[in-house]
Amino acid sequence: MTAPRIAFIGAGNMAASLIGGLRAQGVDASAIRASDHGAEQRAKINAEHGIQTFAANAEAIVGADVIVLAVKPQVMKAVCLDLAAHIGANQLIVSIAAGITCASLESWLGPRAIVRCMPNTPALLRQGVSGLYANQQVSATQRQQAEQLLGAVGLALWLEQEQQIDAVTAVSGSGPAYFFLLIEAMTAAGEKLGLPRDTAAQLTLHTALGAARMAVASEVDAAELRRRVTSPAGTTEAAINSFQAGGFEALVEQALNAAARRSAELAEQLGQ
């Protein structure tokens, strides 16, 4: 596959991460263009990545194989309506905007090959994970192009149904904040048990990192890993029993359901 030419509409945080990831993969700067309405943002992205930048979105997409819509969801409709007449039949649209459905994009852009993605914040460190959904018009080559793009900032996983994006939003899109909440709570509890705050924070953070690395590298699932570190009548079992007596699993399920419902509601509102 020859390297696709990629145009970014909106050169903010997420676009910068994707561009950085592509450049780190060896993609040539000449294959990447970006537009942003902010002169400062254009200068920054140009200085950091050596790519050509444009003030006009329609100019950035000329000759591109892939057009990445990387503006905030609130401005997506205006950006799409403005670009619609300039997009060619063979150009793939990749949208990373939260809550913007393929149906909304098609109502603004016309029938197109569209890949809708839900990345998460650790993509800024190239440690993200994204769910990707391709509509019917997307070719096998275009799927590879989208996968390479999102793969530049972490793991990219395909979804069968667009609706699953709401579940992805609930699990991984909003997920980093759940772990931050647990980190906050464990740090505070460690402090109450007599540790200096900084020590409690470091112990918690490195435990989270070590546990995640162990689980990612492991051939067995998290439940088995937990069983292996929980000896009968031991300290871990005392804590796990306490979590479960408080309805931990049900609470997590309830929280993720709330996030998925909110994701669907926002898609409804943003698609108007």
Ligand X SMILES: NC(=O)c1ccc[n+]([C@@H]2O[C@H](COP(=O)([O-])OP(=O)(O)OC[C@H]3O[C@@H](n4cnc5c(N)ncnc54)[C@H](OP(=O)(O)O)[C@@H]3O)[C@@H](O)[C@H]2O)c1
DSSP lists the bridge partners of residue 93 as 67, 114
- Closest C-alpha to 90, from 117, 67, 65: 65
Q: What tokens appear for 242 in the block? A: 């306490």
How are strands ordered across the β-sheet holding 32-35? 52-54, 32-35, 6-9, 66-69, 92-95, 114-118, 128-134, 154-158
Our CB check for ligand X shows the closer of 9 and 138 to be 9
Nearest CB to ligand X, comparing residues 72 and 228: 72
Environment class of 203 (CB within 10 Å of its CB; exposed 0-12, middle 13-18, buried 19+): middle
Calpha distance 81→145 (Å, rounded): 24
Q: How far is the CB of 19 from ligand X (least distance, A)?
A: 11
Provide, rounded to whole angstroms, the least separation between the CB of residue 247 and ligand X: 30
Residues 6+ apart with CB under 8 A from 60: 7, 8, 9, 33, 34, 35, 53, 54
Nearer to ligand X, 73 or 154 (CB): 73
CB of 191 to ligand X, least distance (A): 29
Q: How many CA atoms lie within 13 A of 225 on its CB side?
A: 13
Give kind and range of the element (H or E) at residue 8: strand 6-9
Comparing CB distances to ligand X, the nearer of 36 and 65 is 36
Q: Are 34 and 54 in contact (CB under 8 A)?
A: yes
Please report how close the Cβ of residue 63 comes to ligand X at its closest, in angstroms: 18
Q: In whole angstroms, what is the distance from residue 2 CA to residue 15 CA? A: 22
In angstroms, give the least distance from the CB of 16 to ligand X. 7
State the DSSP code for 203.
H
Residue nearest to ligand X (CB): 12
Interface with ligand X (CB under 6 A) = 9-15, 35-38, 41, 57, 70-73, 75, 79, 96-98, 119-121
The DSSP bridge pattern shows strands 32-35 and 6-9 to be parallel
Query: Least distance (Å) from ligand X to the CB of residue 80?
Result: 10
Q: Which is nearer to ligand X, 75 or 238 (CB)?
A: 75
Nearer to ligand X, 56 or 252 (CB): 56
What is the smallest separation between the CB atom of 136 and ligand X, expressed in angstroms? 23
Our CB check for ligand X shows the closer of 40 and 221 to be: 40
Please, what is the minimum distance in Å from the beta carbon of residue 119 to ligand X? 5
Residue 76 or 201: which CB sits closer to ligand X?
Answer: 76
